[in-house]
A = this chain, B = another copy of it.
Amino acid sequence: MDPGTNVLDLSQLRRSCSSCALSELCLPAGIGNDDLERLDTAVRDKRTIDRGSVLYRDGDPFEALYVVRSGSLKTFVQDEAGNVQVLGFHLPGEIIGFDALASDRHVSQAEALERSSICELPYARLQQVTGQVPALHRQLMRVISREVIEEHRHLAMMGRQQAQEQLAIFLKSLADRYQRLQRDSTALTLSMSRYDIANYLGLVVETVSRLFSRMEEMGVLEVNRKSVRIRRPDLLADLCRSGVMAPKQSGAG
């Protein structure tokens, strides 16, 4: 690390896990500094992908896990008949690609919802490193387990009887994730389309659109295309539980 640092060194620096703002949310969480450097050797240069471009698709051979550094992606499965099911929306710090561990092939697809940057973790390298660093191995298991738990949440949300509850829970959990990223958790930017949201929740797009309008009328949200401001987080939390709000008072226009 001589003082004559040039541009390449800078990119090198930004690449490293130890200097990454996301490190506590990502794989490095709880890993010692020396081991972190080993982990760095498993990270291939990050790459940037455009909105709509595909990170991996169904059937692709398993080559790497991917960490979202910035931007966002959606993952989904699609059956022979073309039925799509959106599995998740992935924000910075989240790791995707675990579906391929079972069969060495991806069985889902990951697509960027906006221009995003990605850290690629070639699995062969990662395995070498986890072999040397038991803590990393444990952390990797923990991250997959988080994925399992996240899907439990998704299932519990879809199981709700009331559509409004579902959407409220979706927005609430998005707000929670914003908070972890230390963003303003009341000002959401929905990088995914209404269609994606609807599919994610097991609804149709018209229902989602109506629900946004209704929640705006109720004063819970302020919706403007992709930007959603949560005006009453307390009411939103209520909607997560009951679906319907407190009995309508004599409505004032």
Contacts and interface: CB of A to CB of B under 8 A. Distances in A.
Interface of A: 77, 79, 81, 83, 85, 87, 98-102, 107-108, 127, 131, 134, 137-138, 140-149, 151-152, 154-156, 158-161, 199, 202, 204, 241
Given A85-B159, A159-B85, A202-B158, A101 B141 contact: yes
Contacts of A131: 134
30 contacts: A77-B152, A77-B156, A81-B241, A83-B159, A85-B156, A98-B144, A98-B145, A98-B148, A100-B145, A101-B141, A101-B142, A102-B142, A102-B149, A127-B138, A131-B134, A137-B137, A144-B144, A144-B145, A147-B148, A151-B151, A151-B152, A154-B155, A155-B155, A155-B158, A158-B159, A158-B202, A159-B199, A159-B202, A161-B204, A202-B202
Assembly stoichiometry (copies):
2
A131 B199 CA distance: 41
Contact of A141 (B144, B156, B241): B144
Contacts of A85: 152, 155-156, 159
B87 A145 contact: no
A166 to B, nearest CB: 10
A200 to B, nearest CB: 8
Contacts of A161: 204
A106 to B, nearest CB: 10
Contacts of A144: 98, 101, 141, 144-145, 148
Contact of A79 (B81, B145, B156): B156
Contacts of A155: 85, 87, 151, 154-155, 158
B102 A145 contact: yes
Contacts of A154: 155
Contacts of A148: 98-99, 102, 144, 147-148, 151
